[in-house]
């Protein structure tokens, strides 16, 4: 089984590895069922999906009838205005076949203009707060990609008392001093406020070097089980951080098995040797 950690102030004992349901965006119900069965085998009890993850919510929906009590369920709205976000939240609940979710997140809130709309009067944040008041969610979070997202999350936490944040984190990004410092700063703030920290892109090797990717991820992932293990163990080495799984179902077993076997993180030199050998590069155009 995968170890459990307290998911911030929610108090939920979530598995350190959270299922990232973007992996279900374009798969059959049969493939989704097999993936969800695998979660139960490893004791994964937290699912993170989004309205914009293709058919993911539809694939999770049939499962929720029998397994709602087994999972802390999170989804996201990518809309920016109150009205559109409210409609999308209700649509997500219908697709998921549930009356409520545990965590509702503002999706990919990294661009300053989007941020001003979503966080301002008549913005998506108002819809999330209303949803919480109506019992449609218990907690509210914020997510995002890109090299500015850690600093944007600090800005978001100054505006509103979010219960969770989600952002990229892997060893290649750690090696970029500016991002590392901003990541550490927002993690310190989250620890102070008891805000849960979720991470994504743990096994990202870099942007695709081909125009015809052969994986269901927009980035090129590590594929060797040993590489995946080192990458996963390095992220899980931070005791308060959660790792959201990969967007490719074929790689999901290796990620879950690595999390199951986690005991301690590898050293910096081992990770540096691996990333150099695999010619790993930063995502999002991060520079040194």
Distance of CA 198 to the CA centre of its chain: 6
pTM: 0.95
Q: pLDDT by residue (tens digit) across 133-189?
A: 999 999 999 999 999 999 999 999 999 999 999 999 999 999 999 999 999 999 999
Percent of residues, the chain, with pLDDT higher than 70:
97
Measuring CA to CA, which residue among 191, 277, 188 is closest to residue 231? 277
The CATH code that applies to domain 4-277 is: 3.20.20.100
Q: pLDDT by residue (tens digit) across 123-139?
A: 999 999 999 999 999 99
- Domain-wise residue ranges, the chain: 4-277
Residue 88 Cα distances to 84, 94, 95, 96, 128, angstroms: 6, 10, 10, 12, 11
**Mean pLDDT taken over the chain:** 95
Residue 288, pLDDT above cutoff 80: no
pLDDT of residue 287: 46
Q: pLDDT by residue (tens digit) across 71-92?
A: 999 999 999 999 999 999 999 9
């Amino acid at each position: 089984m995968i170890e459990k950690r307290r998911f911030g102030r929610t108090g939920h004992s979530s598995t350190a590895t959270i299922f990232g349901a973007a992996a279900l965006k374009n798969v059959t119900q049969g493939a989704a069922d097999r993936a969800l069965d695998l979660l139960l085998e490893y004791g994964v009890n937290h699912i993170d999906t989004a309205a914009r993850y293709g058919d993911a919510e539809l694939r999770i929906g049939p499962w929720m009838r029998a397994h709602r009590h087994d999972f802390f369920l999170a989804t996201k709205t990518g809309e920016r205005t109150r009205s559109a976000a409210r409609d999308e939240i209700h649509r997500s609940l219908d697709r998921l076949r549930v009356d409520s979710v545990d965590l509702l997140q503002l999706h990919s809130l990294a661009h300053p203009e989007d941020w001003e709309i979503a966080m301002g009067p008549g913005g998506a944040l108002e819809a999330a707060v209303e949803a919480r008041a109506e019992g449609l969610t218990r907690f509210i979070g914020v997510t995002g990609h890109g090299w500015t997202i850690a600093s944007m999350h600090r800005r978001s936490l100054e505006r509103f008392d979010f219960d969770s944040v989600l952002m990229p984190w892997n060893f290649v990004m750690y090696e970029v001093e500016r991002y590392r410092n901003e990541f550490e700063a927002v993690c310190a703030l989250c620890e102070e406020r008891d805000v849960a920290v979720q991470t994504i892109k743990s096994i990202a090797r870099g942007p695709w070097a081909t125009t015809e990717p052969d994986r269901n991820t927009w980035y090129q992932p590590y594929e060797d089980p040993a590489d995946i293990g080192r990458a996963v163990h390095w992220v899980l080495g931070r005791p308060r951080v959660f790792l959201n799984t990969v967007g490719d179902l074929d790689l999901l077993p290796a990620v879950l098995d690595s999390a199951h076997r986690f005991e301690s993180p590898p050293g910096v030199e081992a990770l540096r040797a691996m990333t150099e050998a695999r010619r790993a590069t930063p995502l999002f155009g991060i520079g040194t």
